[in-house]
Amino acid sequence: MPFTAKDVQALRQSSGAGMMDAKRALEANDGDMEAAKQWLREKGLAASAKRDERENTQGAVALFVDGNVGAIVELKCETDFVASSERFKQLASDLASLVALRGESAAEQRAKELEDLRITLKEKIELGDVVRIEASDGHVLDSYLHVQAGRGVNAVLVELDGGTPQLAHDIAVHIAFARPKYLSKDDVPADVVDKERETLTALSRNEGKPEQALPKIVEGRLGGFFKEVALLEQPYAKDDKQTISQLLGGAKIVRYAQVEIG
């Protein structure tokens, strides 16, 4: 018996099931509404729609690099237990390789596997950030994946113009732990800088600094702010006597990407 989108909606409202669960129930029971309701009850899915309201700040990050192409995929869930399961980690890994080979939109091809996993594990499981970098000819691409409790939780890709794979890897490791928000201080939006300048002015004034000295003091403190948020300004994690800009020498960071759970 054929069914419509209205039938799916009606089953969702009457059972509390999620949209995909309701559709699968109708498909499995030839459009029979009552049989579909029973099917949802037997599968333990009659209240799965409530999962959509739950937080899913856990998960796994998968990294895949093949030559000059790299991809990062974040797969989100609710608990460490699910995030550490082999099936969950394998799907994240499969998605990363698929994205690297076919593009970011390719992750959508695995929607059914995502829904099956959500049904089986009874958690709010969904894709998070998806990133793909294809380095230009002659450029260097390298990466770093921080693993915790058997799963990736923090992944970085770095593309360099010049330099070596080892240099790109070292910078990726630095990014993983320093978490820069911007590549250079020139990339920091003007409104962000203005807000920070206002905050530092108020802070310095409240510390009793002379009013006439505030502009110089604030500019000095802004330098510290840029060292926190701009990659090229940051002291290198393995040798804080040099900045990332100095570490690069004649190489140039074309772009980077970082994806971290939570």
What residue segments make up the domains of the chain, in order of their start? 5-53, 58-183+236-260, 189-229
- The reported pTM is 0.78
Report pLDDT digits (tens) over 109-165.
Answer: 888 888 778 877 778 888 999 999 999 999 999 999 999 989 999 999 999 999 999
Report pLDDT digits (tens) over 242-253.
Answer: 999 999 999 999
Q: Are strands 69-77 and 58-66 parallel, antiparallel or unpaired?
A: antiparallel
CA angle 156, 102, 183 (to 5 degrees): 30
Fold type of domain 5-53:
Helicase, Ruva Protein; domain 3 (1.10.8)
- Name which CATH class applies to 58-183+236-260: alpha beta
Measured CA to CA, the distance from residue 26 to residue 249 in angstroms comes to: 62
Residue 94's pLDDT band, with cuts at 50, 70 and 90, is very high
Report pLDDT digits (tens) over 25-38.
Answer: 889 888 888 888 88
Fold type of domain 189-229:
GTP Cyclohydrolase I; Chain A, domain 1 (1.10.286)
Measured CA to CA, the distance from residue 233 to residue 147 in angstroms comes to: 27
CA atoms within 13 A on the CB side of 189: 4
Measured CA to CA, the distance from residue 76 to residue 84 in angstroms comes to: 11
